[in-house]
C-alpha cells in the first residue's frame, strides 16, 4: 500500500534513539526504532493513578457539561456521550504538573528525545460507555504539524485499556516515512484506511503506550459500561515549532514555549525542577 506524504514532509529522516538507554531496556529502544512504539509496563501505582484521576475528573466533567449544553452534544470531534478531550490540565493542577515532571517521563524523554526537552501537550481522553465509534487512524503530527516532526507521545492508561473498551491500535514500521497525508473526517484526521498490519495494544492501568508522533494509531469502540480513561502527555525537543499556513501562502512557524504549560522537562540532560 502506498502512503502519500504530508506536503510539508519534504526531507524527513528518522533519528534513531539512543542505543544505550538508561530508563528503558535496550529491546524497548530497538522496538521504538523499528516499530515506532513499545509498552512501558506498570509505570504508575494504583495510588498514583487514583490521585491523577481525582485531579482530572472534575475538569472532564466540566467539558462533558459544556458539550451537553450544545444542541447535538458535540464540538468538532468531541462528543459528550462518546469521547471527550480535556486539554492543558497542567495549567489547572499543580499535581498534574508534578506528574508530567515525574521520573517516568524524564527517563523516557532523555532516552527517546535528548538532553533538552519541553512538555508540548497534555490532554485527558475519556471514552464513554457504550460508544461505538472508533477514533480514526492518524499520526499525532497529522493534527498540528510540528518541526521536528519526531516527538514523543506517552499514552497513560488510567483504567485498564482493553479490546472491549477502546485500547490503542498501532501500525508498526511506518514512522520512518515522517508525516503522512491526512484527510479530515467527522471523527478526526485520518491517514490510513483499515491497515492489515495493525496490532492491538491493550494496557493495564498504570502502563504507558510509548510511541512516536509519527506512529499511526487508532482506538476502538467502548462496548463496556465503564469509562475508558487515558492521559496523553507529549514531549518535544527544545526549539520545536508548529507550522501553519500563512494567509497569503507560505509557512508560519510558532515556537512552542508557552510559559503557562509548555515547561522545560530536561535541560542539559538534567530534570528541571
Ligand X SMILES: O=C(O)CCC(=O)C(=O)O
Name the residues that contact ligand X, by CB under 6 A: 125, 127, 135, 140, 166, 217, 219, 230, 232
Q: Closest distance between ligand X and the C-beta of residue 222, in Å?
A: 9
- In this complex, which beta carbon is closest to ligand X, that of residue 166 or of residue 195? 166
Q: What is the Cα–Cα distance from 72 to 76, expressed in whole angstroms? A: 11
Residues 65-97 as b/e (b if ≥16 CB within 10 A, e otherwise) read eebeeeeeebeebbbbebbbebeebbebbeebb
Kindly state the smallest distance separating residue 160's Cβ from ligand X, in Å.
14
Q: Which is nearer to ligand X, 60 or 140 (CB)?
A: 140
Measuring CA to CA, which residue among 35, 39, 40 is closest to residue 16?
Answer: 35
Closest separation between CB of residue 42 and ligand X, Å? 20
Helix-then-strand count for the chain, H and E: 4, 19
User: Which CB atom, from 141 or from 262, has the smaller least distance to ligand X?
Assistant: 141
- As to burial, measured by CB atoms within 10 angstroms (0-12 exposed, 13-18 middle, 19+ buried), residue 241 is middle
- Is the separation of the CB atoms in 41 and 108 below 8 Å? no
Helices 103-112 and 26-35, packing angle to 10 deg: 60
Give the cell for residue 119.
512538555
Minimum distance, C-beta of residue 142 to ligand X, in the bound complex (Å)? 9
Return the number of the residue (18 or 144) whose C-beta is nearest ligand X: 144
Cell numbers standing for residue 224: 463496556
How many other β-carbons are positioned within 10 Å of the β-carbon of residue 54? 11
Give 30 or 53: the residue with its C-beta nearer to ligand X.
53
Of 142, 244, 157, 245, nearest in space to 202 by CA: 157
Nearest by Cα to 40 from 270, 204, 258, 255:
204
Whose Cβ is closer to ligand X: residue 47's or residue 225's? 225
- Specify the residue, 110 or 192, whose C-beta has the smaller distance to ligand X: 192
Q: Which residue is nearest to ligand X (CB)?
A: 219
Rounded to the nearest whole angstrom, what is the least distance from the CB of residue 162 to ligand X in the complex?
Answer: 13
Amino acid at each position: 500500500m502506498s502512503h502519500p506524504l504530508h506536503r510539508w514532509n519534504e526531507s524527513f529522516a528518522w533519528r534513531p534513539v539512543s542505543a544505550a538507554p538508561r530508563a528503558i531496556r535496550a529491546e524497548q529502544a530497538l522496538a521504538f526504532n523499528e516499530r515506532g512504539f513499545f509498552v512501558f509496563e506498570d509505570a504508575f501505582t494504583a495510588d498514583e493513578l487514583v490521585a491523577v484521576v481525582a485531579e482530572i475528573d472534575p475538569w472532564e466533567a466540566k467539558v462533558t457539561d459544556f458539550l451537553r449544553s450544545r444542541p447535538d452534544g458535540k464540538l468538532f470531534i468531541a462528543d459528550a456521550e462518546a469521547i471527550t478531550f480535556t486539554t492543558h490540565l497542567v495549567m489547572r493542577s499543580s499535581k498534574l504538573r508534578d506528574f508530567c515532571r515525574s521520573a517516568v517521563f524524564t527517563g523516557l524523554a532523555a532516552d527517546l528525545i535528548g538532553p533538552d526537552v519541553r512538555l508540548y501537550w497534555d490532554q485527558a481522553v475519556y471514552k464513554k460507555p457504550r460508544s461505538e465509534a472508533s477514533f480514526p487512524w492518524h499520526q499525532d503530527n497529522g493534527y498540528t504539524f510540528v518541526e521536528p516532526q519526531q516527538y514523543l507521545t506517552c499514552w497513560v492508561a488510567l483504567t485498564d485499556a482493553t479490546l472491549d473498551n477502546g485500547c490503542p491500535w498501532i501500525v508498526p514500521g511506518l514512522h520512518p516515512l515522517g508525516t503522512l497525508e491526512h484527510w479530515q473526517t467527522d471523527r478526526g484526521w485520518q491517514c490510513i484506511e483499515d491497515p492489515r498490519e495493525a496490532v492491538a495494544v491493550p494496557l493495564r492501568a498504570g502502563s504507558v503506550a510509548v510511541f512516536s508522533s509519527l506512529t499511526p494509531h487508532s482506538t476502538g469502540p467502548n462496548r463496556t459500561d465503564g469509562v475508558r480513561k487515558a492521559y496523553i502527555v507529549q514531549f518535544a525537543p527544545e526549539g520545536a515549532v508548529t507550522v501553519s499556513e500563512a494567509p497569503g501562502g507560505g509557512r508560519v512557524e510558532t515556537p512552542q514555549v508557552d510559559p503557562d504549560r509548555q515547561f522545560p522537562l530536561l535541560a542539559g540532560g538534567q530534570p528541571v525542577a
